[in-house]
Homo-oligomer: A and B are copies of this chain.
Amino acid sequence: MADTVTNERDWLASYDPRAYEPIAVTVDIVALTIRQGADGDAEKALHVLLVRRGEMPFAGRLALPGGFVRPVVEADGTRRDEDLGEAAERELAEETGLATGTRLDRVHLEQLGTYGAPGRDPRMRIVSVAHLAFAPDLPDPTAGGDAAHALWVPVADIDFRSLAFDHARILADGLERARAKLEYSPLATAFAGEEFTITELREVYQAVWGEPMHAGNFHRKVLSVPGFVEDTGATTARGGARGGRRARLYRAGPARLLHPALLRPSPEEDSR
């Protein structure tokens, strides 16, 4: 395939307004992590990264982080187009303020879907390519430019109707995708640290599915799926806070697909 790099000038040269409509393209991110609830809840809960909008439209409302796809300026001053995933990565780094940290490289990013209903942004025609990000317990966004107004919100606390644009729909689609992927992919390990216990893995499933799982059966099931997890040989330094046996530590295995799958306790009446 041709390796042509398109820049703004090239684009303008080839622009014929009768042939097509130039459209603003954005990437929006549904970034999910598992963390302790802000309240004194003992349970770990699923959180999503949201930003408080400062501008119209929807000023003051919560929205998914995101931004325009635009040419990036390299160190030497040249401009080049960025791929969609690249734009999503950039936005996520900006919003979390973790660009300089190393922890962002453990984030799993995948495309969720593209939303282009007319009128979805009252300002103009915008098509948004939504992405889904899965991350181990990330800290609160602090440093960095855009990060000041970003925050982790427990999914259970969100009033979907209050979200800006069509972000309720996008978030709902993202959550459903995440719930479905836990079944047949080793995605849950992306929410855990480099090394984790079976119990921690179970807490991921419980947080995303919102249902308690049977500890014993879960344990055996995970170990029975080839390539899901690998024994590190090590154990946790100590047992639970109030006593208890030390847990074996595992790392993510090579499997990209779980066979057999870990099915949800109550299969939903869903249409996808």
Task: Point out the residue from B6, B26, B68, B119 that lies within 8 Å of A125, measured CB to CB.
Answer: B6
A141 within 8 Å of B by Cβ? no
- Chain A 20-56 interface 0/1 with B at a Cβ cutoff of 8 Å (1 = within): 1111111000000000000000000000000000000
A14 within 8 Å of B by Cβ? yes
A105 within 8 Å of B by Cβ? no
Chain A interface bracket (under 10, 10 to 19, 20 to 34, 35 or more): 35 or more
Contact across chains for B111 and A129 when beta carbons are under 8 A apart: no
Complex CA–CA separation, A5 to B11 (angstroms): 25
Contact across chains for A21 and B69 when beta carbons are under 8 A apart: yes
Among the interface residues A3, A68, A83, A119, which one has the most CB atoms of the partner chain B within 10 A? A119
Residue numbers of A with Cβ under 8 A of B are 1-6, 8, 10-11, 14, 17, 19-26, 57, 68-71, 80-84, 111, 113-120, 122-125, 127, 129, 165-166, 185, 256-257, 259, 267-272
Oligomer copy total: 2
| Extra inter-chain contacts (11) besides given A25-B25, A113-B113, A256-B269, CB under 8 Å | A1-B122, A4-B123, A6-B124, A10-B124, A14-B124, A20-B25, A20-B26, A84-B116, A84-B117, A257-B268, A259-B267
Complex CA–CA separation, A81 to B24 (angstroms): 13
Complex CA–CA separation, A28 to B121 (angstroms): 24
A123 contact set on B, CB distance < 8 A: 4, 14
Contact across chains for B185 and A272 when beta carbons are under 8 A apart: yes
**Known interface pairs A14-B124, A256-B271, A269-B256; A118-B25 also in contact (CB < 8 Å):** no
Contact across chains for B117 and A83 when beta carbons are under 8 A apart: yes
A116 contact set on B, CB distance < 8 A: 25, 69, 83-84, 129
A68 contact set on B, CB distance < 8 A: 19-21
A111 contact set on B, CB distance < 8 A: 113-114
Contact across chains for B272 and A125 when beta carbons are under 8 A apart: no
Contact across chains for B69 and A2 when beta carbons are under 8 A apart: no
**What is the minimal beta-carbon distance from A182 to any residue of chain B, in angstroms?**
13
A259 contact set on B, CB distance < 8 A: 267
**Known interface pairs A6-B125, A11-B21; A1-B120 also in contact (CB < 8 Å):** yes
Among the interface residues A4, A10, A84, A118, which one has the most CB atoms of the partner chain B within 10 A? A118
Complex CA–CA separation, A256 to B267 (angstroms): 12
Contact across chains for B20 and A22 when beta carbons are under 8 A apart: no
Complex CA–CA separation, A255 to B5 (angstroms): 47
